[in-house]
Structure 1
Amino acid sequence: MFGLGKCWWCELLPSACEGCACSILRNAREGQGFLILLKGTAEFLALSPGQGTQATEFSFVRFKEESCCAIFTFSQQPAAAPVPAEREFIIDCRSIAALSPLPFPL
């Protein structure tokens, strides 16, 4: 898995993790799937190249209350390889306008 390590830029931000998305992530279970809508956008976030406008399915890893960082993983289909690569996605929960929970795998 690709890891960015410590969320150093989140440490520079105020630690008032308020808002709907932060509250949801504070109580989310590891492995819970989400679609993410960023503030100022009208479409769910799509990170995989060649995916078009199909939203990326993110898997919740953890929430860091002290920095408001939410850590997710997602699968990305590489252009040259048939096997998807797992990537890490770190975001300040205050930048999220909406979360759409996906069914939790059994």
Structure 2
Amino acid sequence: MKQFKNVQVDKIGFHEGLQRGLSTYPIKTIQENGSVSIERVKDPYFLVNDKWNINDIGEIKQFEKLVAKYNFSNKNIHFEFSESSINLEVKYVYYQQLFNNLWSIKSIYS
């Protein structure tokens, strides 16, 4: 059996990890051969804003067509919890559901 030395791994706190996650987002591009390339964009929009506007989301390439088809009156998601850590956690859940295609634009905004 192979022996490993104890390696010190930098540990970050739970909320710091959420902040890092919300400070970037992936842009997914489908290539002609069907493969998907993913580029990470550094943009703290999802972290610093407690109101996410659907038009801002629509500027992200993979959501352009979905947002163009969205025809409901609610155009914003508000994160208004009095505790900032709860706001952060809820934003992270919405972010993950959105970017992992688990919730639709309609589900998130209506």
Q: Does TM, scored on the shorter chain, surpass 0.5? A: no
More strand by share: 1
> Which protein, 1 or 2, shows the higher relative CO under an 8 Å CA cutoff with sep ≥ 6?
1
* TM-score after normalising by structure 1: 0.29
* TM-score after normalising by structure 2: 0.29
Higher alpha-carbon Rg: 2
